[in-house]
């Protein structure tokens, strides 16, 4: 007697031999159509976890073959490179799986050694990356001259080529600035502050030789010194070291002569704000060692206040002898 054993007829899977999951995880008895909302297959068990827009993408958009493991996991295999290989093929350096918008442009430029600071922070990409397409970002170099050669050649005040200036813009210009004028010049060796905040280099420099200039105030301000009359600096034998009294404030005021510490308190104490000009007390502009108290202090008032003072004399040196602090 011959016994026949019924063997199940196995269907041949179109997904290849490596996919061994139960068909019911993706399909149902009604047909082979796959409902993405009910699919049970966990894609995180593969080398490509679905996140962002990949979660709502039809399987066949990526898996053009039913053999699922034949699909590569790099972005460039599915997405056309609109940048023409100008930024490499690692899309995740700039993009996320949520959308194609780029939010880390400043960070990318810092990584590439060209931080977008100063005026560069307000530029659109195409103002620097001027290629045949606005999506192609060929490297243009990090040196300023790569973009600013025309600016360099067109300079006139001063003429950079005529003055022998190099092409390293950062030697003089501040990358945090918003222009090429004096406010953007790195002049730290002689700060261009307040009265020195000028736009025309030729006011101080012979533009044919920028190194032939002294940092000493008197080298530029000798005429100001000789014409000073309140007080007359020459007659009073004032030193030519302007910073001993002045800052770079425009108009030479306020002066910071240490009158209080060296001679007599006029910026503090009882005489604070009581004088308008040096000549209020110093009647002889050629000799500031001579002074008078009597212009302001009438004899009648002082006589009455000194009725009981032995040896009182109504005379300026006597005033100073007894009242050296003005009290």
Per-residue DSSP letters for 63-111?
--SS-GGGS--SGGGTS--TTTTTT-S-GGGT--SS-S----HHHHHHH
Say if pTM beats, i.e. exceeds, 0.85.
no
Per-residue DSSP letters for 232-275?
-TTTTT--S-GGGT--S-GGG-S----HHHHT--SSSGGGTT--
Q: For residue range 44-59, what is the model confidence (pLDDT) as tens digits?
A: 888 888 888 998 888 8
Which residue has 């430029």 as its token pair?
109
157 against 113, higher pLDDT: 113
In the chain, what are the domain boundaries?
220-322
Contact by Cβ (8 Å): 100, 79: no
DSSP percent split of the chain into helix, strand, coil, nearest 5: 30, 0, 65
Tokens representing residue 18 in the block: 């490596």
Q: Is the pLDDT of residue 7 over 50?
A: no
Q: Which of 121-130, 147-156, 171-180 has the highest mean predicted lDDT (pLDDT)? A: 147-156
208 against 9, higher pLDDT: 208
Q: For residue range 218-245, what is the model confidence (pLDDT) as tens digits?
A: 988 999 999 988 778 888 788 898 888 8
96: left (phi over 0), alpha (psi -120 to 50) or beta: beta
Q: Give residue 3's pLDDT.
A: 54
- pLDDT band for position 265 (cuts 50, 70, 90): very high
Q: Is the pLDDT of residue 322 over 60?
A: yes
| pLDDT, the chain, mean | 83
């Amino acid at each position: 007697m011959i016994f026949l054993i019924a063997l199940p007829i196995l269907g041949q899977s179109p997904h290849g031999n490596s996919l061994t999951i139960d068909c019911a995880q993706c399909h149902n008895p009604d047909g082979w159509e796959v409902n993405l909302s009910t699919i049970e297959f966990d894609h995180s068990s593969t080398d490509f976890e679905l996140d962002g827009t990949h979660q709502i993408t039809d399987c066949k958009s990526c898996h053009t073959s039913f053999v699922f493991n034949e699909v590569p996991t790099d972005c460039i295999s599915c997405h056309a490179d609109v940048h023409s290989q100008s930024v490499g093929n690692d899309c995740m350096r700039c993009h996320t799986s949520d959308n194609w918008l780029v939010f880390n442009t400043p960070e990318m430029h810092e990584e590439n050694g060209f931080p977008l600071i100063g005026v560069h922070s307000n530029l659109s990409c195409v103002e620097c990356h001027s290629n045949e397409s606005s999506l192609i970002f060929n490297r243009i170099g990090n040196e300023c001259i790569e973009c600013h050669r025309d600016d360099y050649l067109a300079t006139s005040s001063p003429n950079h080529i005529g003055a022998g200036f190099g092409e390293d813009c950062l030697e003089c210009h501040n990358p945090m600035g918003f222009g090429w004028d004096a406010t953007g010049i790195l002049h730290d060796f002689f700060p261009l502050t307040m009265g020195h905040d000028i736009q025309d280099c030729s006011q101080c420099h012979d533009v044919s030789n920028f190194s032939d200039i002294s940092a000493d105030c008197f080298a530029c301000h000798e005429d100001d010194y000789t014409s000073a009359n309140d007080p007359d600096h020459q007659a009073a034998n004032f030193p030519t070291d302007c910073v001993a009294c002045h800052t770079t404030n425009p108009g030479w005021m306020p002066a910071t002569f240490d009158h209080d510490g060296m001679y007599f308190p006029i910026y503090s104490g009882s005489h604070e704000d009581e004088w308008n000009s040096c000549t209020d007390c110093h009647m002889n502009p050629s000799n500031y060692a001579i002074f008078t108290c009597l212009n302001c202090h009438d004899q009648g008032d002082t006589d009455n206040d000194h009725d009981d003072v032995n040896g009182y004399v109504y005379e300026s040196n006597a005033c100073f002898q007894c009242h050296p602090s003005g009290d």
